[in-house]
Structures are given as structure tokens and as C-alpha cells.
Structure 1
Amino acid sequence: MGSEKKPTIIITGFGPFGEHSVNASWVAVQNLKRRDLLPHLDVHIQEIPVDYQEVSQIVPNLWKEKNPQLVVHVGVSGMANKITVEQRGNNTGYERLDVKGQRPKKKCCINDGEECILSGIDMSQVCDEINKAENELEAEVSHDAGRYLCDFSFYTSLSIDRSRSAFIHVPPLGQPYSEDQLGDGLAIAVSAMLKQLTDQKSS
């Protein structure tokens, strides 16, 4: 049993942008890895710049190189005060400029792609796991990931494999959760997602 291969998971966070000179998403992802909160998994973490061109290259490369069982993108939302789990990604409407002052050509993620793609993971079940855990964390499901780099990265992964792609928005640090709490929340969410995928395989 000791030599059994651990499932490979990719978790990404974003670099600084706008008023988020410290991006809570990357802090939370690093916290999860540093504290080894998912010891039963082979966790690869990656910081992604808030840059459309970079995301469109980095995300597919991660899928190709690691062949992961699950990819979870994490981003910060200044409007969130709970852990917010996204159910779908959108292809069009990318008007906002990235950190390099660019936006995608045709303001879309993938030319002639589906307008929106639903993740095969039931995010309401993921929220239930976070909400019933013995901590102060609260989670909710969202159906609009915001038409910026968060949504863009999520849709990119969904277009590669919608059954194994997820996105989580976290609030800024201290509003209201600490770095450790955010790390804990991500660990619960990832475990819940992986359990769903394992249950689907065995059913």
C-alpha cells in the first residue's frame, strides 16, 4: 500500500493586481501546501499572473505536463465575504484590461467555444462540506465567475476537461478569514471535490 501513487492535484493562485498587492488566493494556496493539509495527495501549486496571454499558455501546459486528477483555480474577490465556489465559466465578455493593459482578441476565451460551461463537480455539495466542518468558515455557490482572469482561467480548464475543473473565490485576507482559515477551507473543498470524482468512478 505504501507505494500506491497519490492522486495528482493542481491548485493555482493569482499574482498581484489592482488594490490586491498581496493576492489572498496565492497566499491561501501556499498556506495549504506549506502546512501539508492534503498529505494523501500529490499537490502541485502554481502562481499565475493576472495576464490573459499567460493564462492561455500556462493553464493548458499544466494539464499536459501533470495529467492531474483535478485542477482547482483560486482567485480573490473584493466583493466576497465567504468562500465562493463557482459552478460555471463564461467564454465571452472579457472587457477588463489585465495587468499589462491587454484584453483578449474578440473579448473571448476560445473562438467559437460554448457560451458557458458547467463544471461536472456539484459545487453545492462542496459548499455543504465546508459549511458543516467545525470551523467558522462559510461557503456559497456562484454562477458568475466575474468575466476577468478568474473566469478566463476557469473556462480555459473547463474547455480541456469540465469533469475535473473547479474555481474557488476567496475574500481578501482578514475580511473576515485569516490565511490559515483560507488554507483550511481550500483543503476541505479539494477533498470534497476529489471524493465526488472518486465516487463517480466507482458507481
Structure 2
Amino acid sequence: MDTKKTVIVTGFEPFGEHKVNASWSAVQELEKLGLGEDIHLLVKEIPVEYKAVSELLPSLWKQYKPELVVHVGVSGMATSVTLEQCGHNHGYNRLDNCNFCPYSQCCIDQGPDCIMSVIDMDSVCKIVNTSRLGVAFSVSKDAGRYLCDYTYYTSLYLGNRRCAFVHVPPLGKRHTAGDLGRALQAAILEMLKMLKDQRNHGQDGNHC
């Protein structure tokens, strides 16, 4: 019997000025590193398309029943690896790679305005910033109202908040794909420890 827990980590395809999307490059590096023998790591590249995200995420949650889903996106403004605490339901008026945006400009009809991850990103950030990775981490509560935020909110909604989102800077700004892959590994391992502690203590994390 396979007792391994599944962790899904996604990155995005190229879009706009990001001809090579650092998020997917970082996730591919993470795949090489793995998350230890007890974790089945599954990686996926996600289209920068609202409709594709809305179709793909429910199937991922249903099929694999993951312990945790971590979405990774690139931010041209980021100078550090940024741990996003929450996702937002409204304000999606930027066109995607198919020149489409939701008519309602929201993720989930009648969903809450904001959903917080069960993971305390401030605590994760403090721990990984004491490591010797040579990569700085920070925390944000605004993932940007584009496909990153849209994906995060949708996944938080579907997965009972057992989800995280990480923004990485573009490649070459300060770090290589290898640097970012190691940073993702360190952060996700801490997130998994936190989930285990919450389970042992009967906690369910943050509320909006």
C-alpha cells in the first residue's frame, strides 16, 4: 500500500514579457530535488488562461487528493521569493493569453471576498530566512488580481485552504532557476511541517 502523501506544485507558461517563465523553470528544478522519500511530488505547467485554470484545478484536487498544492508564479516587481497569504475573488479585468477575462471579473460566484491559506506564511518566512540559501523571502497579502491571484483563490476554495502561492522574481534578476528551486524546496518542506503540526494539535490555521 502506498502511504506517500501527494504534493502538487505548479508553474505558469510564458506570457507577455516573460518569454521564459521563471515560475516553471523553478518548479522544474524543484522536481529534480524532490521533497523527500515520503512525498510524491507532482508538477504541472498551467496555461495563463482563466478558463483553463477553472477546468484544470478541480480535476487536480479530485484526482490526486493532495496533502498540499503550491502554485508558483513570476512577478516582474519581485526582488525576493514572496509567500502569498491569501487569494481574492474580485477584480479580474486583465486579459489572459487568449484575450479573455471573466465576464463577472470574479473567480467563484458568491464566494467570499478573500480566502486565507491555512499556512501561516509569516512563520514560514521567518524560518526559511534563517537558512543559508542565499535567497531572501518575504510575505504579501496581494497576489495581483491576474492569473496568479485567480489560480490561488480558486485552489484555496477547492482545497479547503490547504494551498500556498509563491511569487518568484524573473530569472537573472538576482537568482538562477537552481536558486529558486532550492528556495521552493525549503519553503514547501516548512509548509508540510506546519500542516503536520496543525493536524496533531487540531488546528485549522488562519481565517480572513
Question: What is the TM-score of this pair, normalised by structure 1?
Answer: 0.96
In 1, Cα distance between the equivalents of 2:47 and 2:9? Answer: 14
- Are residue 189 (structure 1) and residue 207 (structure 2) matched? no
Q: Deviations over 1:128-163 (max 9, x none)?
A: 122111121110100000000000000001111243
Residues 93-104 of structure 1: pairs in structure 2 closer than 5 A: 93-104=91-102
Q: Does 1:25 align with 2:18?
A: no
CA RMSD, 1 decimal? 1.2
CA contact (8 A) 2:34 2:41 kept: no
Q: Percent identity among equivalent residues?
A: 50
What SS does structure 1 have at the residue aligned with 2:54? Answer: helix
Q: Which residue of 1 aligns with 2:204?
A: none
User: 1:52, 1:149 within 8 Å by CA — same for their partners in 2?
Assistant: yes
Contact 1:37–1:184 (CA<8 Å) still a contact in 2?
no
Give the aligned partner of residue 205 of structure 2: none
Runs of 4+ in 1 over 4 A off after TM superposition: none
Q: Distance in 2 between matches of 1:196 and 1:9?
A: 14
1:37 positional shift = 5.0
Structure 1 counterpart SS, 2:18: coil
Could you say which residue in structure 2 is the equivalent of 1:148?
Answer: 146
How much has 1:58 moved relative to structure 2? 0.6
How far apart are the structure 2 equivalents of 1:140 and 1:70? 20
Alignment of 1:17-96 (within 5 A): 17-96=15-94
Q: For structure 2, which runs of at least 5 residues remain unmatched after alignment? A: 202-208
> How many Å separate the matches in 1 of 2:178 and 2:62?
31
After superposition, residues 123-162 of structure 1 pair within 5 angstroms as: 123-162=121-160
**Offset of residue 4 of structure 1:** 6.1
The structural deviation recorded for 1:122 is 0.1
2:206 maps to what in 1?
none
Give distance in 2, aligned partners of 1:95 and 1:42.
Answer: 36
Q: Which segments of 5 or more consecutive residues in structure 1 lack a partner in the other structure?
A: none
| 8 Å Cα contact 2:7-2:68 kept in structure 1 | yes
Alignment match of 1:120 (pick from 105, 108, 118): 118
- Report SS of the residue matched to 2:14: coil
2:172 alignment partner in structure 1: 174
Helix, strand or coil: the match of 2:42?
A: strand
How many positions carry a matched residue from both structures? Answer: 201
CA contact (8 A) 2:69 2:162 kept: yes
Partner amino acid, structure 2, of 1:70: L
* C-alpha distance 192-53 of structure 1, shift in aligned 2 (>3 A): same
